[in-house]
Amino acid sequence: MRMKPPKNKALSPAVARAIDSKFGKSKAGSVRLFLGQFYASSPSTELQRASVDEILEPVLLAWKFVQKRPSRSPQIKFIEYTHTEHENQNTGTCILILFDDMPFLVDSIRQGLNRAGAHIKRVRNSVIYARRAGRTAARPGSALPTTCPGSIAR
């Protein structure tokens, strides 16, 4: 059974133009699909209040993160934000996690951060339907959920 991607509620005309100008016609369609899957579980009201940059920055970080994955082992990346580096961001840490079909890991990590006293502002546990094109590049759109980046703490 083939699953349809979720409706892309984060793709406003302004976001679409920003994606087109950054990626051009060849990759823009894939990035739009990725954006829709990335924000599939986000509340529409949150997306309506967000600026184009606030919508695109996490998506572009996750997009870059999932492009190269040398093995099927889980990957994790920490990105530290400061006011001097990211003027429109709050200070904090973004954690990106990529793994195959193990959604419980996001919850386990979140619980561990809570036990350690970390303040978690937002959890995005996005199921990204992807198929590998060759050995390195990810291509959105396969029938099974095979990769899942979760932006855990920000």
Per-residue pLDDT of the chain (154 residues; tens, 9 = 90+): 444 544 566 678 888 899 999 988 888 988 998 888 888 888 888 888 888 888 898 889 888 888 877 777 788 888 887 765 555 556 788 888 888 777 788 888 889 999 999 888 888 878 776 665 655 555 554 433 333 444 333 3
Does residue 27 sit within a domain? yes
Provide the residue range defining the domain that includes 53: 13-151
Looking at the 3D structure of the chain, how many domains does it have? 1
Does residue 86 sit within a domain? yes
Does residue 3 sit within a domain? no
Does residue 69 sit within a domain? yes
Does residue 116 sit within a domain? yes
Does residue 84 sit within a domain? yes
Which pTM value belongs to this model? 0.71
Question: Which pairs count as long-range contacts for 66-75, CB under 8 Å and 24+ apart, including other chains?
Answer: 66/98, 66/128, 66/130, 66/138, 66/147, 66/149, 67/136, 67/137, 67/138, 68/136, 68/137, 69/98, 69/136, 69/138, 69/147, 70/136, 72/100, 74/98, 74/99, 74/100, 74/102, 74/105, 75/99
Does residue 7 sit within a domain? no
